[in-house]
Amino acid sequence: MATKSFDLIQNGFIIPARYIQVLLMFTAILLVFYQRVNLSVAIVVLNKLNGTTNTTQPQFDYASLTPHQRSSMLGSVFWGTFSVQLLSGYLSSHYGTVKLLLCCVLGSSLISLCLPYVLIYCGYEAFIAFRVLQGCTQGIVFPAVYGHLAKWCPLKERSLLGGVSQSGLDMGMALGFLCSGLLAVTSLGWMAIFYVPGVAGVIWSALWLAFAAESPQKCRYISHKERTLIDEVGVAATSTKRNAPTPWCAILTSVPYLVLVLVKLSHGLSIFTLMQQIPLYINGLYDYEIHVNAMLSSLPFFLMFVTSHLVSYTAHYLLVVRKCPLALVRKSMNTLSTWVPAAAFVAMTLLSEEHVSANIACLIVAVTTYAAAAVGSSLNHIDLSPNFGGMLVGMTNMVMTGMGVISPIAVAEIVKDENDRSQWNIIFLIIAALLFLGNLLYLIFGQMVAQPWDKIENMDNRAANNTVVSFQVDTIRNIEK
Domain spanning 246-481: CATH 1.20.1250.20: yes
The whole-number pLDDT of residue 453 equals: 92
Domains 14-235 and 246-481 share a fold: yes
The packing angle between helices 17-49 and 158-166, to 10°, is 20
Report d(CA 447, CA 320) in Å as an integer: 20
Closest C-alpha among 105, 31, 28, 34 to residue 294: 34
CB 24 within 8 A of CB 204: yes
The distance between the two most distant Cα atoms of the chain, rounded to a whole number of Å, is 74
Residue 414, judged by CB atoms within 10 A of its CB (0-12, 13-18, 19+), counts as: middle
Task: Spell out the domain ranges in the chain.
Answer: 14-235, 246-481
Q: Residue 10's beta-bridge partner residues?
A: 13
Q: What is the pLDDT of residue 244?
A: 67
CATH code of the domain occupying 14-235: 1.20.1250.20
For residue 235, the model assigns a pLDDT of 41
Reading the chain (481 residues) residue by residue, the pLDDT tens digits are 444 444 434 444 578 888 999 999 999 999 999 999 999 999 999 888 765 545 566 678 888 888 888 899 999 999 999 888 777 766 766 677 899 899 999 999 999 999 999 999 999 999 999 999 999 999 888 878 877 887 887 766 766 677 788 788 889 999 999 999 999 989 888 999 999 999 999 999 999 999 998 888 888 888 888 888 877 544 433 333 345 688 889 999 999 999 999 999 999 999 999 999 999 999 998 889 898 999 999 999 999 999 988 988 888 888 878 889 989 999 999 999 999 999 999 999 999 888 899 999 999 999 999 989 988 888 788 789 877 876 787 788 889 989 999 999 999 999 988 899 999 999 999 999 999 999 999 999 999 998 999 886 544 444 444 444 444 444 444 444 4
